[in-house]
Structure 1
Amino acid sequence: MTMRQLPDYDDLPSFRGIPGCAWDVWGKGDELGTVNLLTNTVVQQAAREEIRTGKRVAVDLPVNFFTQPLFGRRPAEITSWVKPSDRRDEEIRINTQSSSHWTGLLHFPLPGHGVLYQGVSCSTAPVGTLNINEPGNVDPNTICLGIHGWAQHGISGRGVLLDVARHYSMAGNTPPYDPFRRYEISSATLEACARDQGVVFRPGDILLLRTGFLESDVSPLTFQMIVPMWGMPIGKLFNLDVLSEHCAEASRYTFFFSSWPINVLGGVASPPNAMAIF
């Protein structure tokens, strides 16, 4: 499917009365969702136009950044030791969503309906320890919708930073976020921010939204229907402060974005391993 063939949101069918179901856009059995937009042509154009100086900005927080991760998740445990050969080894035990991460297609079902992206029943998704003895001969149903799909495809293309926190401060305002209440950033605010930054969107853009979370402990992002209905990756807890400073200095809010999730067959989520390249 080409960009021009993509349906408008209003033309998407409903699922059990809920509008905006994109399961058929990429065909039955699709496990990439909107990552399908990141074609070879899109990535090539982004690299050709956006990589000019070679400046690189990492946007991952350390996996052990949070001593008390959100939603009761366990903090990372890092253990190292010296072997008899004097070589050092280590083991890292992490919740893949305890720091910067991509939320995978297995993480969030359609509320109240018990189905994941493509209508896959939550009851068929394995839980508990996933033992894979023959990685080259795995039952597709066992790892259906796993993070390995995005890991093997890659999430790379033209990145766009909408620096909402800076947008408010430049207007002499403080972000209207309350850390103890839900807050939704309106499309009008995002459009105004894009205009101020001189950003013109195009299909396949990877949108990074800086809300000032690390400064105010506020995250206004929500899942709504994005993961189960659209198959769209949601990245959370990215470290966008250094990226914000560089974009402001360069007066440029677009760049080449490259992210490679860890390649875990059947994985639920992953650290992003991401950077912006100017």
Structure 2
Amino acid sequence: MTATESDTTYPSYKSLLERDGHLSGTSWGLFPDAGRGTPSFIGPDAVREAAGCIRTGTAFGLDYPADAFDPGMSLKRRAPRHTIYSAHPAHRDDYLDGYYLQGSSQIDGLRHRRADDVGFYNGTPDDRIREGTADLGIQTWAEQPIVGRGILVDLDGYCREQGTPIDHAAGQPLGLALVQAAAAAQSVSLRPGDILMLHTGWCEWFLSLPAEDKESLRDSRRASGIEQSSEFVAWAWDNRLAVIAADNFAVECLPAVPTSPFRDTAPNDHGMMHQQLLAKLGLPLGELWQLGPLSRHLRAAGSWDAFVTIKPLNITGATGSPANATAVT
């Protein structure tokens, strides 16, 4: 599962680490559209090839309802309040109050995280990351949606088959070796520009809990997810992944593992990989995606790819958005 040898447009992650000064470990300045990030790996040819993933014509919405995670894992985000009103008997309109754009299934924009050591993606000045400015805003992916081949790796199914179900209650870290083993068991090979979807089963497990257990888990700050490691970051870049999405709270595990190599460079995030992936590589993260139905469908079909579209809300300067993601098989 490595990028094809013919893919020589961009340097390896090892070469990124050898860039000078504050550019070390970043993709800053490498993409033609400075605010698009790794979705730039998806070119027109890749989109046309992705259409070949449509075999049955079955479509899956990958977003949970906006109020699904109430209570959720976030200490701040709450479910929106929906109001319907009418101006006369033949009219209905509505609006939302308290709508946190990352409160349910969502995609992190490139201004969602600032790298503690070098700043926002592409060296964007801090004073440009505010309401009313477009720099690194989610509107870039709304105006030109992210469309390509989605690959689902069923970590939940693989672990169950191995007799070692993921321990969501303990917030189990899921290492790169597990991701690679699950993908190999599915005979999955990655291509540059793939949208990687990691099915952990966390969302369905969490949503099945009573409210008091959800609140207890939220207060514990534990959630299963990808284990923080330099190897995972290198693997994601060297495979030219356009997006990494998962059906869990933060893609990566919470809290960061004690061995996280990012504790010194990302102290405000306590060693999480978000800064490395978003602010340094420009790699968007999808969180809380609804992947269970798609995973079961793909397993029954014996194939693991789908035509995937991601169309965030067109809000200038937003730091994130509902993913509005769809998979067609």
TM-score band (shorter)?
Answer: 0.7 to 0.9
Match of 2:179 in 1: 190
Q: Which runs of 5+ in 1 are unaligned?
A: 131-141
What is the rounded CA distance, in whole Å, between the counterparts of 1:106 and 1:160 in structure 2? 26
Match of 1:52 in 2: 55
The answer as to 2:115 corresponding to 1:86 is no
Match of 2:146 in 1: 155
Is the CA contact (8 Å cut-off) linking 1:15 and 1:21 kept in structure 2?
no
Q: CA offsets per residue over residues 118-140 of structure 1, 9 Å max, x none?
A: 0112233224xx4xxxxxxxxxx
The answer as to 2:116 corresponding to 1:111 is yes
Correspondence list, 1:109-148, <5 A? 109-113=114-118, 115-127=119-131, 130=132, 142-148=133-139
Match of 2:218 in 1: none
Cα displacement (A) at 1:80: 0.5
Match of 1:21 in 2: 26
1:230 to 269, 281, 300: 281
Is the CA contact (8 Å cut-off) linking 2:102 and 2:320 kept in structure 1?
yes
What is the rounded CA distance, in whole Å, between the counterparts of 1:18 and 1:192 in structure 2? 32
Q: CA offsets per residue over residues 147-167 of structure 1, 9 Å max, x none?
A: 000111111100000110111
Aligned Cα root-mean-square deviation (Å): 2.0
The answer as to 2:191 corresponding to 1:202 is yes
The one-letter amino acid paired with 2:301 is A
Of residues 12-21 and 228-237 in structure 1, the stretch that sits farther from structure 2 once superposed is: 12-21
Q: For 2:179, what is the secondary structure of its paired residue? A: helix
What is the rounded CA distance, in whole Å, between the counterparts of 1:242 and 1:106 in structure 2? 31
Is the CA contact (8 Å cut-off) linking 2:129 and 2:317 kept in structure 1?
no
Structure 2 CA distance for partners of 1:120 and 1:85, relative to 1, 3 Å: same
Is the CA contact (8 Å cut-off) linking 2:27 and 2:280 kept in structure 1?
yes
Structure 2 CA distance for partners of 1:125 and 1:57, relative to 1, 3 Å: same
Q: CA offsets per residue over residues 61-110 of structure 1, 9 Å max, x none?
A: 01121222423213211110222142111002311000000000111110
The one-letter amino acid paired with 1:84 is H
What is the rounded CA distance, in whole Å, between the counterparts of 2:284 and 2:65 in structure 1? 20
Match of 1:265 in 2: 316
Match of 2:260 in 1: none
Cα displacement (A) at 1:224: 4.8
The answer as to 2:91 corresponding to 1:40 is no
What is the rounded CA distance, in whole Å, between the counterparts of 2:205 and 2:19 in structure 1? 37
What is the rounded CA distance, in whole Å, between the counterparts of 1:174 and 1:111 in structure 2? 35
Cα displacement (A) at 1:3: 3.9
What is the rounded CA distance, in whole Å, between the counterparts of 1:213 and 1:241 in structure 2? 9
Is the CA contact (8 Å cut-off) linking 1:159 and 1:205 kept in structure 2?
yes
Of residues 71-80 and 198-207 in structure 1, the stretch that sits farther from structure 2 once superposed is: 71-80
Is the CA contact (8 Å cut-off) linking 1:148 and 1:264 kept in structure 2?
yes
1:256 to 280, 283, 307: 307
The answer as to 2:65 corresponding to 1:62 is yes
Identity score, percent: 30
Give the TM-score taking structure 2 as reference length: 0.74
The one-letter amino acid paired with 1:209 is L
Q: For 1:43, what is the secondary structure of its paired residue? A: helix
What is the rounded CA distance, in whole Å, between the counterparts of 1:15 and 1:164 in structure 2? 37
Q: For 1:5, what is the secondary structure of its paired residue? A: coil
Q: Which runs of 5+ in 2 are unaligned?
A: 1-5, 207-222, 226-250, 253-273
Is the CA contact (8 Å cut-off) linking 1:80 and 1:89 kept in structure 2?
yes
What is the rounded CA distance, in whole Å, between the counterparts of 1:168 and 1:35 in structure 2? 30
- What is the number of equivalent residue pairs in this alignment? 259
